[in-house]
Amino acid sequence: MEKKKEIKFEQPSEILVFMNRYFLVIIAVIIIGLLGVGYFFLLSPKIDNIKELEKETTDIEERRLLNENLLDKIKELENKYDDIIADRENQLSELMKIIPDDPQVAELFIMTERLAKQRGFELQSINISEGADGEVAASVEEAEAAMDEEGVQMQAHSLKSTVIHISLSYEADPDAETEEGKEAETPYQVFKNYLVDLENNLRLMDIQSVSFGSLDPDAEALTFGFDIITYYK
């Protein structure tokens, strides 16, 4: 009687058993690994690049806003500058309007004497002569150059001048009453107030020189002399 053949099955290796048992876990680990590698080598550089672009975009926006603010300030300064120029031109125009067209010698004589009497002075002499036009023109040209540097368009005006030499005498009135609590004005203070009166009443003038006689308060009369320059077109 023949012997039956025995069929023997080879036992699977431990590796196959392990892989079969943990197949899903192994697949999950492989997928996670691939995702990790893909993130670090592919996604991470792109994310960093996106962050850099966002930072650059933010910097550009900040610079844009800063430039807009600077432009607004520049426009504001330009408007202020234009206002200043317009104001200077208006002031110059008004100044030229108040300058007389002629010397007005008679008016100068009357005004000078009237103001002197109001302050208690006696007009001793008054000499009126034409001034040096060259000096006036030079000073005007200098003023024009200075104004032009500031952007003001100024017409060339060659002003003429009149030199007035005035001699006054002053004798204090011992009987003159002063307000209670106030000291009597000294001759110098009275003379100073007279010059202020001239400046307030004459259209445009410069005090060229001032001379004094004796300022001794015991003197019978004190003398003052001065030269003023008035201007006309």
Fold of 105-173+185-232: Alpha-Beta Plaits (3.30.70)
Most confident residue range from 4-13, 72-81, 93-102, 145-154 = 72-81
pLDDT digit string, tens, across residues 92-106:
888 777 777 887 888
Mean pLDDT of all residues in the chain? 76
- The average pLDDT across 70-74 equals 93
pLDDT reported for residue 152: 44
User: Band of the pLDDT at 137, cuts 50, 70, 90?
Assistant: very low
Burial class (CB in 10 A: 0-12, 13-18, 19+), 204: middle
Q: Which of 128, 208, 116 is nearest to 169 (CA)?
A: 116
- The average pLDDT across 68-90 equals 92
d(CA 225, CA 208): 11
What phi-psi label fits residue 168: left (phi over 0), alpha (psi between -120 and 50 degrees) or beta?
A: beta
d(CA 56, CA 62): 10
Say which residues have a Cβ less than 8 Å from residue 100's Cβ, sequence separation at least 6. 203, 232, 233
- The average pLDDT across 131-140 equals 49
pTM of the model: 0.50
In angstroms, the Cα distances linking 203 to 47, 58, 199, 230 are 80, 63, 8, 8
* Domain coordinates in residue numbering, the chain: 12-98, 105-173+185-232
Answer for the pair 230, 108: CB distance below 8 angstroms, yes or no: yes
pLDDT(87) > 60: yes
Say which residues have a Cβ less than 8 Å from residue 201's Cβ, sequence separation at least 6. 111, 115
pLDDT digit string, tens, across residues 156-206:
456 788 888 989 888 766 555 555 556 677 888 888 899 889 888 876 788
Beta bridge partners of 170: 121, 222
